[in-house]
């Protein structure tokens, strides 16, 4: 397949939107920017088109998709919208919040991975909103990467993963948030946060005191379907294995230094992802690559650059990545969720 690639550097040309909409109407796939990460979109109501997403990404068939809409009038697609869910939509849409609701029959089973529920969100990105509005139908869109890899936050990373596998890739700057949306399940009671994101549990709890944070780190049984993306399978993983180190600052530094020394003795090229220079007492050499999270101005900036940093280790052919863990509060809960998935729960607590 020849992929049409357009990287917009200035104002959005309406012809580009028209071209993307034509691809979607014809049952094709378009990779496009959102404020969270880049998405790989197809007409959510076209079962055949949605099936192409699973094939292009190598995505498991039981991993449900999120549908993206251009306004809050979603009654055509879902039913039984609780009042608190409407309040959250009014406050956070457009934005990085996905709400799971009972779906209507208009949503194909392929889109929902056979579930009776569907996740819905309204992205906060002008290009995405224009494209969805012009199409006049919701767009099913997981992240625009090969399944399991770190999600792309730039046009270049989309091209790296999907060139030749999709019909069109549109670039329009770097994603502002850098991690996927918060997912909250309102299809039952109590409402449950299934995936943390920029919109935090603490923020949502102020609006709906019934909400709980569901621990989704458990193993799924054979045949059991997750209700949201990112719950059952290995996600966000670079090519090298990731080890996540948790604990107080001094103990983390000691353990990370030990792991570095051990891996250097085994002639591994080591990548370090940490907030401080934990290897200042070790001799730098070509086999250590340190990406400091301490250079970012705040935790939102850390989240914005998380996936890109993981991909940078791939660029440098790292053999093992050692990452520092954080207390899971606020947006750090989302950062830790992604790091745990990237590490396949290979976690050392000290």
Q: What is the CATH number of the domain that holds 341?
A: 3.40.50.11030
Among 51-60, 77-86, 195-204, the minimum mean pLDDT is found in: 51-60
Percent of the chain beyond pLDDT 90?
81
Q: What is the pLDDT of residue 180?
A: 97
DSSP-assigned beta bridge partners for residue 236 = none
Strands (E) in 145-191, as ranges, are 168-171, 182-185
Among candidates 149, 164, 153, which has minimal Cα distance to 39? 153
Alpha carbon of residue 196 to chain centroid: 10
Q: Are residues 206 and 254 in the same domain?
A: no
pTM, whole model, 2 decimals?
Answer: 0.93
Asked if the model's pLDDT at residue 253 lies above 80, the reply is yes
Q: In this structure, is residue 261 part of a structural domain?
A: yes
Q: In this structure, is residue 77 part of a structural domain?
A: yes
pLDDT tier for residue 284 given thresholds of 50, 70 and 90:
low
Alpha carbon of residue 144 to chain centroid: 9
Q: In this structure, is residue 10 part of a structural domain?
A: yes
Q: In this structure, is residue 229 part of a structural domain?
A: no
Q: Are residues 198 and 271 in the same domain?
A: no
d(CA 85, CA 81): 6
Q: In this structure, is residue 218 part of a structural domain?
A: no
d(CA 204, CA 127): 27
Asked if the model's pLDDT at residue 159 lies above 80, the reply is yes
Q: Are residues 109 and 258 in the same domain?
A: no
Strands 117-121, 182-185: pairing is: unpaired
Using DSSP, state whether 299 is helix, strand or coil. helix
Q: Which of 169, 195, 213 is the last residue of a domain?
A: 213
Beta-carbon contacts of 340 under 8 Å, excluding residues fewer than 6 positions away, are 217, 244, 347
Q: In this structure, is residue 230 part of a structural domain?
A: no
Q: In this structure, is residue 220 part of a structural domain?
A: no
Q: What is the pLDDT of residue 293?
A: 84
Q: Are residues 114 and 164 in the same domain?
A: yes
d(CA 2, CA 248): 51
228 C-beta neighbours (distance < 10 Å), count: 25
d(CA 25, CA 136): 10
**Dihedral pair phi/psi, residue 135, rounded to 5°:** -65, -35
Q: Are residues 186 and 111 in the same domain?
A: yes
Q: In this structure, is residue 233 part of a structural domain?
A: no
d(CA 41, CA 139): 6
Domain of residue 63, residue span: 4-213
Among 39-48, 109-118, 161-170, 274-283, the minimum mean pLDDT is found in: 274-283
Contacts of range 315-319, beta carbons closer than 8 Å, 24 or more positions apart:
316/269, 316/271, 316/289, 317/269, 318/238, 318/240, 318/269, 318/270, 318/271, 318/289, 319/240, 319/263, 319/268, 319/269, 319/270
Asked if the model's pLDDT at residue 283 lies above 70, the reply is no
Alpha carbon of residue 48 to chain centroid: 24
Q: What is the mean pLDDT of the chain?
A: 92
Q: Are residues 202 and 334 in the same domain?
A: no
d(CA 181, CA 179): 7
DSSP-assigned beta bridge partners for residue 243 = 322
Q: Are residues 58 and 195 in the same domain?
A: yes
Structural domain count of the chain = 2
**pLDDT tens sequence across 63-101:** 899 999 999 999 999 999 999 999 999 999 999 999 999
DSSP-assigned beta bridge partners for residue 307 = none
Contacts of range 297-304, beta carbons closer than 8 Å, 24 or more positions apart:
299/330, 299/331, 299/332, 299/335, 300/177, 300/198, 300/331, 302/275, 302/335, 303/177, 303/178, 303/179, 303/198, 303/331, 303/334, 303/335, 304/153, 304/174, 304/175, 304/176, 304/177, 304/178, 304/179
Q: What is the pLDDT of residue 118?
A: 98
335 C-beta neighbours (distance < 10 Å), count: 22
DSSP state, 86? H
């Amino acid at each position: 397949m020849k992929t049409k690639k357009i990287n917009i550097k200035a104002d959005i040309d309406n012809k580009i939107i028209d071209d993307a909409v034509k691809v979607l109407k014809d049952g094709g796939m378009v990779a496009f920017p959102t404020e969270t990460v880049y998405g790989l979109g197809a007409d959510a109501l076209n079962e055949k088109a949605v099936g192409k997403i699973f094939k292009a990404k190598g995505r498991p068939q039981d991993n449900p998709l999120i549908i993206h809409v251009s306004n809050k009038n979603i009654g055509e697609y879902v039913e039984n919208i609780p009042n608190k869910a409407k309040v959250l939509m009014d406050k956070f849409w457009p934005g990085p919040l996905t709400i799971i609701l009972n779906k209507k029959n208009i949503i194909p089973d392929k889109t929902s991975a056979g579930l009776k529920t569907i996740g819905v969100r309204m992205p906060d990105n002008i290009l995405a909103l224009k494209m969805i509005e012009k199409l006049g139908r919701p767009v099913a869109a997981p992240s625009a990467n090969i399944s399991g890899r770190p999600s792309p936050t730039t046009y270049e990373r989309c091209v790296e993963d999907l060139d030749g596998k999709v019909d069109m890739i549109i670039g329009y700057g770097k994603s502002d948030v850098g991690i996927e949306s918060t997912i909250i399940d309102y299809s039952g009671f109590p409402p449950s946060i299934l995936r943390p994101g920029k919109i935090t549990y603490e923020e949502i709890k102020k609006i709906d005191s019934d909400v709980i944070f569901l621990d989704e780190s458990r193993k799924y049984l054979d045949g059991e379907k997750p209700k949201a993306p990112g719950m059952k399978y290995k996600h966000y993983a670079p090519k090298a294995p990731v080890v996540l180190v948790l604990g107080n600052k001094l103990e983390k530094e000691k353990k990370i230094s030990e792991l570095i020394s051990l891996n250097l003795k085994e002639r591994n090229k080591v990548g370090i992802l940490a907030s401080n220079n934990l290897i200042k007492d070790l001799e730098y050499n070509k086999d250590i690559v340190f990406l400091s999270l301490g250079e970012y101005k705040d935790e939102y900036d850390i989240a914005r650059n998380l996936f890109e940093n993981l991909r940078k280790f791939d660029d440098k052919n790292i053999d093992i990545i050692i990452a520092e863990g954080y207390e899971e509060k606020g947006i750090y809960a989302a950062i830790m969720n992604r790091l745990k998935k990237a590490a396949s729960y290979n976690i050392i607590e000290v």
